[in-house]
Structure 1
Amino acid sequence: MKLSTESRGFRITPEKAVKFIKVSVYLTCMWPPQGDESKISFRLRKYLSVFLSFGLFFPLLFSIVIYLDDMLIILKSAICMTALANYVAKVVIVTRYHREFEKFRFVLNEFILKASDSSKVVFQKYVDKFWKFQFFMVFCYYIGATGIIVGPLVLPQKFPTDAVYPFSVDNPVVAGIIYAHQGFAAYLCAAGMVLDGQAALFLWYLNAKFDILVSEINRVAKREDLCWYIRQHQEILAFADELIPPIRALAFTTISVTKILMISSGFFLISDESLLVKLQFVMVAISSTFNTFLYSWAADDLMNISGAAMSSEIFNVFSRHSLKMKKMCLFIIHRAQKPIVINIPGLLATLSSEYYASFLSAAFSCFATIRAVVNS
């Protein structure tokens, strides 16, 4: 008989999942200051991280200008610049929506502490569903960043990147500072990508709330119960209306960056670079698809649970009630015909499993085109 995760003595609870994701996104300054950290030191840490990102961005840009005849250096610098731009963009989005994210954090923590046992079981189901992939994604990004940092130990290069500085870097102290700076920037880039795991967690929480609401349909036996049910539905929709804009901004940034990273990394797969260099950017190409999958997975589930699934369950249950109650429930059924989706008309297609499949198909077609052009 197959043992459950809990029976083997190891289980990722919602509390552990939140703590793990909180630690993994620490460098993005998404969570408000905790413990003894003051708001001033929190802001200084955030601004310093952004300043250090720009401190590497411009030397990388300078390297592109200096090595215009070396396509591989241009691509490597462009990939690093894109990852830094992603981090800065994510910090800007988090800062712009800091009140909303603080509210989401508070609501999620309140739910974990005060939810009923049946509600916790539903949310646990979602945690069991996503935590392994999310842990793997975080592991890959930080291991990938570490691989880039230790690259100079086994590769014929002095620093992790090809950044060019307007001063001499031969002094050991200066070289050590630059190496530490580039290493820290690599972890900032990893944190910028891992931040999408936090956004996905909020989406999974929203999915769980809809799932809980669907499971409570059978509790409705009279008009008062139905009024309570409609209010619960409206509260979840109101939460969704606040959650979707910042999630949409993060998803658009991530997917835009992912496309650039995949195309740029594709050149390394068909280049004459060493195997170690290729491995670094193969990890970049593969891991960059994780974020798009994470958003598409959670968004597809949300679209289903807030639309067809809810409409079907409500219709099946309320068809047995009086005509007056049927008329009341038409409001929910009508709203369920417009599921909650994540998109930006003209910029970002509706995220779903179909979108992710088309995204991968387009990526492979792009790689094939690049290979054909290079070989010709």
Structure 2
Amino acid sequence: MVIQEKITLKKVITVIKLSLFVIWFWPLPHNVSKRKVLCMKLYQYVCILLTITVLASMIYALIKNLDDPNLVVKSSLGLFPCSHVIWNILCRIAIYQRLQCVTIEMENFCTLIKPYEEAIIQKEYIDKCANFYGFCIASFYMSVFALFVGPIVLDEPLPAYAEFPFDVSHQPLRAITYIHQIIVGLYIAAHLSVNAFMAFLLWLASARLKLLIEELRIITNIYDFIKCIKKHQQLLEYAGEVAFTVRSFAFGTVFSSTVSLIVFGLIFITGASLPLKIQCTFLAISALLEVFMYAWPAEHLIHICNHVAQTTFEIEWYNELGNLRKNIQMIILRSQKPILVVLPCGLPSLSLRYYASYLSTIFSYFTTMRIMFEGQSDVL
């Protein structure tokens, strides 16, 4: 009988770090040398340059084949994942200090965590969420593996459809181009795994509020309650920082997934080949999972904030606190205004309700496009 190894908090952090290793995304400590910081920044710019060159070859293929709808669709498949990589890198550069601060505080918490706290996080969060996010990370990298074998199985010259103003059908240019696209494919998989990293920050912010709730339930004196009040304020500030850090990456994911799903819908409507439809089916599922990776922890963060207020209200010795009653009321009122992951550009905050409306909107787009194409076919 094979005993399955338990997934712990430290293992989750290790897996996320490994999934981001290709892009050097995990922030460095504050006391790191300037040389290492410079190397990290240079590597980020190299990643942008390599991605832009692949993006340019796909745009060139799209412009060159505007008269062939099938080739236009094939060349546009990689545009939005590549754009997503560039967006993530630019966001990381812009808010690196915030990302570094929330990540280091998260690491410090995980280092100093007490056994009973780790047991609560293990039961309430890791056991429920780790398999889903592990599956998502594995699927992202399995898609890259499919890129490796794609030219062999489908008899294609390159993993992604692209054209160049020069001949790349001969060696060594063909091998260089092939390796170049595979490297960018690894970048795409790693940047899709950034969703798991951002979701982990949200989940851990919720977990720390959950631990506060457990403390509120067992306190027996005013001194412990005062400590809980201070901790509540600190956790709200931290959760707000996490939500602000996450929102830019979430916006890139939502935008990229939305446009990609519309392209996939066009592929199904225009009657593309069966292998391409199968590929797009898996890519569409992946795009929907990407948005859900953010919506789930964002929804839980909303509920856990409200739960803090409910737990505080249910304290049995509420009437005995006297002068602290106003502080209790402040906790309740502040908790009733939950931490929201608000998307930029006037979009609503992330939640499961938003995800449901997102799915409804996507399906309405598909229906509208199908009706339009069927109407054009009847006219012709």
Q: Tell me whether the two structures share a fold, i.e. TM-score over 0.5.
A: yes
Contact 1:269 1:282 in 2 (8 A): no
* Distance of 2:129 and 2:320 partners within structure 1: 37
Q: Which amino acid aligns with 1:311?
A: A
* Distance of 1:155 and 1:18 partners within structure 2: 37
Q: Residue in 2 aligned with 1:29?
A: 24
Q: Secondary structure at the match of 2:332?
A: helix
In structure 2, do the counterparts of structure 1 residues 138 and 330 end up closer, same or farther at CA, with 3 Å as the change threshold? same
Q: Secondary structure at the match of 2:133?
A: helix
The counterpart of 2:97, out of the listed 92, 96, 99, is 99
Write the mapping of 1:265-284 to structure 2, written as runs, cut at 5 A: 265-284=264-283
Q: Residue in 2 aligned with 1:4?
A: none
Contact 2:95 2:245 in 1 (8 A): yes
Contact 2:22 2:187 in 1 (8 A): yes
* Distance of 1:347 and 1:95 partners within structure 2: 23
Write the mapping of 1:1-376 to structure 2, written as runs, cut at 5 A: 8-32=3-27, 38-125=36-123, 126-307=125-306, 309-317=307-315, 319=318, 321-344=320-343, 347-376=346-375
> How many Å apart are 1:172 and its aligned residue?
1.5
Contact 2:217 2:311 in 1 (8 A): no
* Distance of 1:167 and 1:189 partners within structure 2: 26
> How many Å apart are 1:145 and its aligned residue?
2.3
Unaligned runs of 5+ in 2: 376-380
> How many Å apart are 1:108 and its aligned residue?
2.0
> How many Å apart are 1:179 and its aligned residue?
1.0
* Distance of 1:197 and 1:166 partners within structure 2: 38
Deviations 1:60-112 (A, max 9, x none): 11111111112232223223111111011111111222222222222222222
Q: Secondary structure at the match of 1:150?
A: helix
* Distance of 1:265 and 1:190 partners within structure 2: 19
- TM-score, structure 1 normalization: 0.92
Contact 1:210 1:306 in 2 (8 A): yes
Report percent identity of matched pairs. Answer: 27
> How many Å apart are 1:319 and its aligned residue?
3.3
Unaligned runs of 5+ in 1: 1-6
Contact 1:296 1:353 in 2 (8 A): yes
Q: Secondary structure at the match of 2:39?
A: helix
In structure 2, do the counterparts of structure 1 residues 275 and 239 end up closer, same or farther at CA, with 3 Å as the change threshold? same
Q: Secondary structure at the match of 2:172?
A: helix
* Distance of 1:283 and 1:144 partners within structure 2: 9
Contact 1:28 1:195 in 2 (8 A): no
- TM-score, structure 2 normalization: 0.91
> How many Å apart are 1:40 and its aligned residue?
3.9
The number of equivalent residue pairs is 370
* Distance of 1:171 and 1:8 partners within structure 2: 51
Q: Which is worse superposed, 73-82 or 297-306?
A: 73-82
Contact 2:213 2:311 in 1 (8 A): yes
Q: Residue in 1 aligned with 2:378?
A: none
* Distance of 2:148 and 2:70 partners within structure 1: 18
* Distance of 1:99 and 1:268 partners within structure 2: 41
Q: Secondary structure at the match of 1:273?
A: coil
Q: Secondary structure at the match of 1:187?
A: helix
In structure 2, do the counterparts of structure 1 residues 345 and 109 end up closer, same or farther at CA, with 3 Å as the change threshold? closer
Q: Which is worse superposed, 253-262 or 352-361?
A: 352-361
